[in-house]
Structure 1
Amino acid sequence: MSDILRQHAEQLFAQELEELKQQDSGHRPQNWVLAPQSVVTYLMGGTLPNGFEVSPKYIGNKRLMEIAVATLTTDRALLLYGLPGTAKSWVSEHLAAAISGDSTLIVQGTAGTSEEAVRYGWNYARLLAEGPTRQALVETPVMRAMQLGKIARIEELTRIGADVQDSLITILSEKSLPVPELNTAIQAVRGFNIIATANNRDKGVNELSSALKRRFNTVVLPVPDNTEEEIDIVRRRVESFEKVMQLPAEPPAAQEIRRIVTIFRELRNGVTADGKTKIKIPSGTLSTAEAISVVNNGLSMAAYFGDGRITASDLAAGIIGAVIKDPVQDKLVWQEYVETVIKTREDWKDIYRACRELE
Structure 2
Amino acid sequence: MISPCGFPSLSYTMTPNQPPVLQRPPAEVLYGEELARLRAADRLPRPPGWQLSMPAVRRFILGEGEAAAKIVCAPGLIERALVTLASNRALLLVGEPGTAKSLLSELLAAAISGCSTLTIQGSAATTEDQIKYGWNYALLLNEGPSPQALVPSPLYRAMQAGQLVRFEEITRCPPEVQDGLLSILSERLLMVPELSGEGGTLFAAPGFNLIATANTRDRGVNEMSAALKRRFSFETLFPIRDYEQEFELVRAEVGRLLARDQVPVLPPDEVLEVLVTVFRELRDGVGRDGAAGERLSTVVSTAEAVSVAYSVALRGYYLRGDGGEPGDIVEALAGAAAKDNAEDGKKLRRYMEHRAGKRQGAHWQAFYAARHRLPE
TM range (shorter): over 0.9
Distance 1:293 1:143 in 2: 34
Equivalenced residue count is 352
Equivalent residue letter for 1:291: A
1:327-338 superposed matches below 5 A: 327-338=341-352
- 1:220, CA displacement in angstroms? 0.5
Q: Deviations over 1:174-215 (max 9, x none)?
A: 000011111321000010000111111111111111111011
Q: Deviations over 1:7-44 (max 9, x none)?
A: 11111101110111122121011221100110010000
1:98-247 superposed matches below 5 A: 98-183=111-196, 184-247=200-263
1:146·1:192 contact (CA, 8 Å) conserved in 2? yes
1:26 and 2:44 are equivalent in the alignment: yes
1:216-295 superposed matches below 5 A: 216-248=232-264, 250-276=265-291, 278-295=292-309
Q: Deviations over 1:194-243 (max 9, x none)?
A: 01111111111111111110111011011002111111221111111011
- 1:83, CA displacement in angstroms? 0.4
- 1:69, CA displacement in angstroms? 1.0
1:60·1:229 contact (CA, 8 Å) conserved in 2? no
Distance 1:357 1:269 in 2: 24
Q: Deviations over 1:42-63 (max 9, x none)?
A: 000002xxxxx11211112111
Identity of aligned residues (%): 43
Distance 1:325 1:299 in 2: 21
For residue 78 of structure 1, the aligned residue among 83, 91, 94 is 91
TM-score, length basis structure 1? 0.95
What CA RMSD, in Å, does the superposition of the two structures yield over aligned residues?
Answer: 1.2
1:6·1:244 contact (CA, 8 Å) conserved in 2? no
1:76·1:215 contact (CA, 8 Å) conserved in 2? yes
Distance 1:353 1:32 in 2: 55
Bigger mean CA offset, 323-332 vs 144-153: 323-332
SS of residue in 2 equivalent to 1:346: coil
1:318 and 2:336 are equivalent in the alignment: no
Regions of 4+ moved over 3 Å: none
Corresponding residue for residue 94 of structure 1: 107
TM-score, length basis structure 2? 0.91
Corresponding residue for residue 11 of structure 1: 29
Bigger mean CA offset, 305-314 vs 4-13: 305-314
For residue 322 of structure 2, the aligned residue among 303, 308, 333 is 308
Q: Deviations over 1:111-154 (max 9, x none)?
A: 10110110111111111111111111110000000010000111
- 1:315, CA displacement in angstroms? 2.0
2:84·2:91 contact (CA, 8 Å) conserved in 1? yes
- 1:281, CA displacement in angstroms? 1.6
- 1:261, CA displacement in angstroms? 1.2
SS of residue in 2 equivalent to 1:34: coil
Equivalent residue letter for 2:150: L
- 1:325, CA displacement in angstroms? 2.2
1:335-350 superposed matches below 5 A: 335-347=349-361, 348-350=364-366
SS of residue in 1 equivalent to 2:139: helix
SS of residue in 2 equivalent to 1:219: strand
SS of residue in 1 equivalent to 2:310: helix
- 1:355, CA displacement in angstroms? 2.3
Distance 2:285 2:334 in 1: 17
Distance 1:327 1:218 in 2: 31
Distance 1:75 1:209 in 2: 19
Corresponding residue for residue 4 of structure 2: none
Equivalent residue letter for 1:139: P
